[in-house]
Amino acid sequence: MQNLTLQKIMEQYIARAAIPNPPPLPLNSQHLSRRTTLFNRLFAAVYAAAILSLFYYHLTSLLKSPTSVSSFFVSISLFISDVVLAFLWATTQCNRMIPLRRREFPNNLKQLLKNDSDFPALDVFICTADPYKEPPINVINTALSVLAYDYPTTKISVYISDDGGSAVTLFAFMEAARFAAEWLPFCRKNHVVERNPEAFFESNQDLDSQSEKIKIMYAKMKIRIENILEKGKVGEEFINGEEERMILGKWTNSFTPRHHPTIIHVLLESSKNTDITGESLPNLIYVSRQKSETSRHNFKAGALNALLRVSATMSNAPIVLTLDCDTYSNDPQTPLRVLCYFMDPKVGTNCGYVQFPQRFHGISKDDVYGSEYMRLFIFNPIGMDGLLGPGYLGTGCFFVRRTFFGGPSTLEPPELPELHPSHVVQNSIRSRQVLDLAHLVARSDYEINTKWGSKLGFRYGSLVEDYFTAYLQKSEGWKSVFCNPNRAAFYGDAPMNLLDAVNQVKRWAIGLLEVTFSKYSPITFGVRSMGLLMGISYCHNAFWAFLCIPVTVYAFLPQLALLNGASVFPRVWDPWFSVYAFLFLGAYAQDLLEFLQEGSTFQKWWNDQRIWSVRALSSYFFASIEFSLKSLGISALGFNVTSKVVDQDQSKRYDQELFEFGAFSPMFLPMATAAIVNLVGFVGGLIGIWRSGGAWEEVFVQIFLAGFTVVNCLPLYEAMAFRKDGGKLPREITFLSLFLALLLCSFAAFFSSFN
């Protein structure tokens, strides 16, 4: 019946559209900039011609009789690097051919949704895994922000997946359930827009007496939760009533994050629980699926599939919102914007999901780590929206539940009728029948001999379950929409130190490599199933890790050649020099233009272009190594949760735009070594020019590359030699990188003299 709600409203919209006077008001609009599209296509054609001419230059150079083994090695290395760069550039162009921008008109929904009963139900999934890396107070702020949506409360069900199985997390949500009875009516009465309590109180200092009362309640709740977190267990003095004592009593001495029974606890039920004004509260359910050391759990994808099944037994809403634990709602009208697409038959028929961009609060002024990921979260989705739609970004995404059960015209039925997307739940979510079934489908062995993870739900086989799931859904015939309103729909946390930032990208890159080298590779399967442009567009992320090849070559090889007096690029007055100059300046200028058009700044763009080379020499480089070792059966991949805990000193240095190194990690070695080699190469090159009487034309490109890298590496030099704080580069990394740089320079000199 709930799934019929979507269909029924679409039919009403179509019926109204057939009436000539008055026509129904539009729910959304779309705009394709002809000027931008024309410019992108013309520039792509010219740039492609320049790439082909560069390939011609490389091939003619290789076909000439090489003067030495070293010169041939240099030529073939540069050629391979340029081929990789050209391929990655081509994948980007697919997202520039049809850039589509949309706008929603949520006020026009009134013509379709006249009563609360007309609204389709909404299930919200929030995933957390470790209370010490993902503080429970942040998770409950995320939950409270969506519980307080401008949406009928009886239509909202929020499910918390606690994959760490922590009593502290459950206790935090018991506190949150009580606080919600005060917070939701406060938001309605005062028309609060920031419905994350922490964000609201931080941005509103001048509070009236009622707001001060709520703030004190929130502060006391926060203190209780943090005290419990520090102790690591819930003391008897914090337990309210026999029901809480019984559920918390399940945490026995044999209970571990990797081995424990299923725990499902209904914290709020809309048909029974009310706020202080007598209004119904949304459903709030805590879920910790069963864990067994003998069963595969499939990380976040497994947790989401458990929520899909548990929610199907309890509410089975036709719309599902997935959120990371730190991604809170910043706009209470976000679900209404989503309905502007799902309720429009012109869009919603095959629309599987609506994706919002990831936005981050607390980003440093100039985004020192490039954490906004403008290309990944803004530019690419806008471009993909003109094709079949954006990918799934892992959070801030509203799905049609039916999307997880086969293609639009080929339903893949689940093994139990109660899990079917059109199943109607008749019983109370606290009834024994519902809870028994929910516990059954959350068992660790439930998925054995089923299609979950392969044909049903979120897909297994990659650490990037978001990318892989949406990619396969597109191949089945689903489309998607990118919704990018002026007011950010969601805000999340960004890493505040370099190690967390590069580790996060390394995990993504490994997962993408798993897709690239599978039977579902976008270059083959994707192109066949989705068409050329969409398939190549998905290649852009899938082949991320390959960027480490050209960046490593260009970070070391020309500079080492420069130290040995060898020229590897055309002279300044050679016509081929203009090709290199155009390719370099054209790519950077177009990238900068896109940043500025989106309202960003030059300094943010500069930091972004610097960080992608840092990721190439750390995240992508080590992702390639780990994936290769795993493919050979030498090591197994794990899933490391990115810490959301904020250290005050670290936060201060982040606001000062200082690179935060701190802990030792081998991932810092390549970038530190490259920084030293380029500095030595730049100085050595200038000395060589001075000694030769000013003959700079032959080595200008190498000098420029070394100098450009040196400027990019200024934060590294500062962390190596001048900083004394806790975020400086570890001394071991500095010494090891000096040793490696010396070794490389010595080897290059020996190799050059040998030839």
Q: What share of the chain is helix, strand, coil (3-state, %, to 5)?
A: 55, 10, 35
133 is in an annotated binding site: yes
**Letter for the amino acid at 345?**
P
647 is annotated as an active-site residue: no
| Contact (Cβ atoms closer than 8 angstroms) between residue 298 and residue 460 | yes
d(C-alpha 106, C-alpha 322), whole Å: 21
- CA-based R_g, the chain, Å: 28
**DSSP result, 360-420:** BSS--TT-TT-TT-HIIIIIHHHHHHTTT-PPP-SSSEEEEGGGGBEETTEE---SSGGGS
Alpha carbons 643 and 495: distance in angstroms, whole number: 8
Between helix 167-190 and helix 241-248 the angle, nearest 10°, is 140
3-state secondary structure of 117: helix
CA distance 133 to 322: 20
Query: Is 194 a known ligand-binding residue?
Result: no
Nearest Cα neighbor of 499 from 254, 225, 727, 259 is 727
Q: How far apart are CA 688 and CA 101, in angstroms?
A: 53
| Amino acid type, 210 | Q
Strands 328-329 and 319-324: unpaired
Q: Is 134 annotated as a binding residue?
A: yes
| Distances, alpha carbon 324 to alpha carbons 112, 286, 394, 483, in Å | 31, 15, 8, 18
Does 331 appear as a known binding residue?
Answer: no
Interstrand relation of 122-128 and 156-162 (parallel, antiparallel or unpaired): parallel
Q: Tell me the three state secondary structure of residue 464.
A: coil
- Bond before 22 cis per omega within 30 degrees: yes
CA dist., res. 412 & res. 39, Å (int): 43
In a 3-state reduction of DSSP, which class is residue 443? coil
Would you say 508 and 621 are in contact if contact means Cβ atoms under 8 Å apart?
no
Q: Measured between alpha carbons, how far is 670 from 622 in angstroms, rounded to an integer? A: 10
Query: Which two tokens mark 692?
Result: 């030769």
From CA 127, how far away is CA 395, in angstroms rounded?
10
213 annotated as a binding-site residue: no
Angle at 712 between CA 620 and CA 558, to 5 degrees: 75
Q: Which residue has the tokens 């997935």?
A: 322
Cα 13 off chain centre by: 35
Instruction: Give the active site residue among 367, 466, 493, 591.
Output: 466
Count CB-CB contacts under 10 A for residue 401. 22
Catalytic residue among 130, 163, 367, 500: 163
Phi, psi for residue 521 in degrees, rounded to 5: -55, 130
Distance CA 361, CA 655 (A): 12
Residues labelled catalytic: 163, 466
- Residues at the binding site for UDP-alpha-D-glucose are 133-134, 163
Binding-site annotation: residue ranges for Mn(2+): 300, 324
Annotated binding site: 133-134, 163, 300, 324
